[in-house]
Amino acid sequence: MISKRSSRMTSQRQVILDELRSAKDHPTADEIYVRVRRRLPRISLGTVYRNLENLAAEGIIQKLEMAGSQRRFDENPDKHYHIRCLGCGLLRDITISTKFPLVDLIDDTGGFEISGAKLEFLGLCPACSEKVASLPEGSEGCIET
C-alpha cells in the first residue's frame, strides 16, 4: 500500500536510493547497508532499514517478501514478476504476457475480494543447472555454490 505521506529526500535517503538503483540485483537491507557505508561510513543499519521501509511505503521502491529468503528491495516500483534460483538464490525480473491477467484464471475466490497478487517463479539459473548436469549420476542433495 502506498502512503500518502511523503518524507523529504535527505542526503542519506538519496544515497540509499542511489545504491539500490545502481545494484540491479534485488539486494537485502544488509547488502545495501554495506554498499551505503562506503559513501556514508557513519550511517547505522537501523537508518538504512527505516529508509528502505519508508521508500517502499511511499511507492518509490518495491519491497520483495519472497518465500524462503530475506526481504529484498527492488528499485522498480512497477508491478512485475521475479524468478528465484533454488540453488544460489539469484533473483531476476521476468516479463509475463498480460494477455491473460492472472486474476482471470481463478475459478473460485472463496468470497475473497482480490486486491493484489505475489507470484514467485522458482528454478535453477544457468550456472546452477550446469552444476547439476555435471554431478555424477545418482547424486542427490543441495547444490553448493
Task: Determine the topology of domain 79-145 in CATH.
Answer: Dna Ligase; domain 1 (3.30.1490)
C-alpha dihedral (98, 65, 89, 24), degrees to nearest 10: 70
C-alpha dihedral (69, 76, 109, 1), degrees to nearest 10: 100
> 1-75 maps to which CATH number?
1.10.10.10
pLDDT at 40 over 90: yes
The pLDDT mean for the chain works out to 85
Provide the residue ranges of all domains of the chain, joining segments of one domain with +: 1-75, 79-145
**Residue 95: which residues within 8 A CB-CB, separation 6 or more?**
80, 81
Band of residue 49 on the pLDDT scale cut at 50, 70, 90? very high
- Are 69 and 89 contacting, i.e. CB atoms less than 8 angstroms apart? yes
pLDDT at 22 over 70: yes
User: Which three cell numbers mark 143?
Assistant: 547444490
User: Which three cell numbers mark 101?
Assistant: 491477467
